[in-house]
């Protein structure tokens, strides 16, 4: 195992939906790839998929697949997918396909056997994502005792969302090993002030700072990651 980290598996969550979890995962994968580490990603649940000749495909999951150095089938990377871009538990109800947490575990265990130097698991939505009326995705993360990376979408209101999410993860008994500042607005008033406050409230290193980029899908994001992760 490379000395890059003691724990090679990280769960990436966000302060909300559309805050840049996939972009952040891509940045981490690209940074690890550049340092000659083997990488793998897992997006157990995706809502908002296009029907193709090969079946349902999610754009974010395809990005993760493309940037992983270990090749796996799409279904291995994204075992639970829904067509409508709505809350997964609602999509599951509409399609009469309940989300079963044991399937998430099975997919995860299969990828673990590939022994990647870095395994990134991308969540869906925010930390408290319902799987059904009884379970949250966070329950699964807690059961697996995973280290967490928090993505903060830098915009007005992010302070409350970030602090509450961080405190909740800690209260759930897990470790936040780092956080990522992802600029989702071209210009955020008092950006540096917000960044400084978050750095004092989140007791973990900022492992990446990703600027707002119009051509973000064409940019090598590894340059924005503080590597190696600790």
CATH number for position 166: 3.40.50.300
Judge whether 16 lies within some domain.
Answer: yes
Q: Give the lowest-confidence range in 10-14, 57-61, 141-145, 213-217.
A: 213-217
Residue 230 lies in a domain: no
Domain assignment of residue 107, yes or no: yes
- Nearest CA to 209 out of 230, 226, 188, 228 is that of 226
- Per-residue pLDDT band for 3 (boundaries 50, 70, 90) equals very low
* Domain presence at residue 2: no
With CA atoms as reference, report the closest residue to 34 among 117, 108, 115, 111: 117
Residue 3 lies in a domain: no
Is it the case that residue 2 has pLDDT exceeding 50? no
Nearest Cα to Cα of residue 207 among 179, 187, 182, 185: 179
When pLDDT is averaged across residues 46-63 and rounded to a whole number, the result is 96
Q: Helices 137-144 and 101-112, interaxial angle, to 10°? A: 40
Say whether pLDDT at 118 is over 70. yes
Residues 171-175 have a mean pLDDT of: 98
Q: Which residue segment(s) compose the domain that 209 sits in? A: 9-224
**Mean local confidence (pLDDT), 14-28:** 96
Alpha helices in the chain (DSSP H): 21-34, 59-67, 74-77, 88-94, 101-112, 137-144, 158-171, 191-201
CA 65 – CA 109 distance, rounded (Å): 17
3-state secondary structure of 202: coil
pLDDT digit string (tens) for 83-95?
A: 999 999 999 999 9
pTM for the whole structure: 0.94
Structural domain includes residue 31: yes
For residue range 146-158, list pLDDT tens digits in order: 999 999 999 999 9
* Total tally of structural domains belonging to the chain: 1
CA distance 183 to 188: 8
- Looking at the predicted structure, is the pLDDT value of residue 72 above 80? yes
The catalytic residues are: 43
CA–CA dist 219, 80 (Å, integer): 29
Report the percentage of the chain scoring pLDDT > 70.
96
Does some domain include residue 106? yes
Q: Which value, in Å, is the radius of gyration of the alpha carbons in the chain?
A: 17
Query: Would residue 145 be called left, alpha or beta, if left means φ above 0 and alpha means ψ between -120 and 50 degrees?
Result: left
Answer yes or no: is 4 within a domain.
no
Q: Are 24 and 182 in contact (CB under 8 A)?
A: yes
């Amino acid at each position: 195992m490379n000395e890059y980290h003691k724990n090679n598996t990280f769960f990436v969550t966000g302060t909300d939906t559309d805050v840049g979890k996939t972009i952040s995962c891509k940045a981490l994968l690209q940074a690890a790839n550049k340092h000659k580490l083997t990488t793998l990603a897992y997006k157990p649940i995706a809502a908002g998929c296009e029907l193709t000749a090969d079946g349902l495909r999610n754009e974010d999951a395809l990005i993760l697949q493309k940037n992983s150095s270990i090749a796996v089938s799409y279904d291995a990377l994204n075992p639970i997918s829904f067509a409508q871009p709505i809350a997964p538990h609602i999509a599951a109800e509409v399609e009469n396909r309940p989300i079963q947490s044991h399937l998430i575990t099975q997919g995860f265990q299969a990828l673990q056997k590939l022994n990647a130097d870095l395994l990134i698991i991308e969540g869906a939505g925010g930390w408290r994502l319902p799987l059904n009326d009884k379970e949250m995705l966070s329950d699964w993360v807690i059961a697996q005792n995973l280290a967490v990376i928090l993505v903060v979408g830098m915009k007005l209101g992010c302070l409350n969302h970030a602090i509450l999410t961080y405190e909740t993860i800690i209260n759930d008994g897990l470790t936040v090993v780092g956080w990522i500042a992802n600029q989702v607005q071209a210009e955020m008033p008092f950006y540096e002030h917000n960044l400084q406050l978050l750095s004092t409230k989140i007791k973990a290193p900022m492992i990446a700072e990703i600027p707002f980029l119009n051509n973000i899908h064409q940019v090598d994001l590894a340059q924005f990651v503080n590597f190696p992760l600790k």
